Structure 1
Amino acid sequence: MEEKVYTTPLGDIHYWVQWKGKDAQTLVFLPGLTADHRLFDKQIEYFANKANLFVWDAPGHASSYPFSLRFSMDD
């Protein structure tokens, strides 16, 4: 898995990808609000040579911390 970072004005969002090719199925792993990318370690290990993979740390969680959660509907 290759770690990447998406930078926003509120903070960085960390995500990991593995690309096996356009013909491979793609699996997206989205951990819940109290978890991070490590929740899927066993699944990623199993699918490592079988599919394209994407997993992230939601803003404010694990590698995507700190992240400013200050916003309003006016933004």
Structure 2
Amino acid sequence: MKENTYRTSSGTIHYWSSITTPNAITLAFLPGLTADHRLFERQMEYFDGKYNIFVWDAPAHASS
């Protein structure tokens, strides 16, 4: 998983992604209120290398 950032006028959003192949299915993990990307650590570990993965920290949560 590679950590990336996306800058907006309201702040910086942190997200993690693992792109296996451009044509692979992409799984998006979106943690809910009061949670962050760590909620899906085991799922990210399990699916890494099998699917493209995207997970973020919503604004005002954890790294974002």
TM-score range, shorter chain: over 0.9
* 4+ long deviations beyond 3 Å: none
Partner of 2:48: 48
Q: How does 1:7-22 map to 2 (within 5 A)?
A: 7-22=7-22
Task: Please tell me the root mean square deviation across aligned C-alpha atoms, in Å.
Answer: 0.7
**Whose strand fraction is larger, Structure 1's or Structure 2's?**
2
Structure 1: 5+ residue runs without aligned partners?
Answer: 65-75
Normalising by the residue count of structure 1, what TM-score does the alignment of the two structures yield?
0.82
State the partner residue of 2:6: 6
Q: What 5-or-longer segments of structure 2 have no aligned partner? A: none
Instruction: Report 1 or 2 for greater relative contact order, CA contacts < 8 Å, sequence distance ≥ 6.
Output: 2
- Cα distance in structure 1, aligned partners of 2:42 and 2:13: 22
Percent of residue pairs identical: 62
Give the Å deviation of 1:23: 2.5
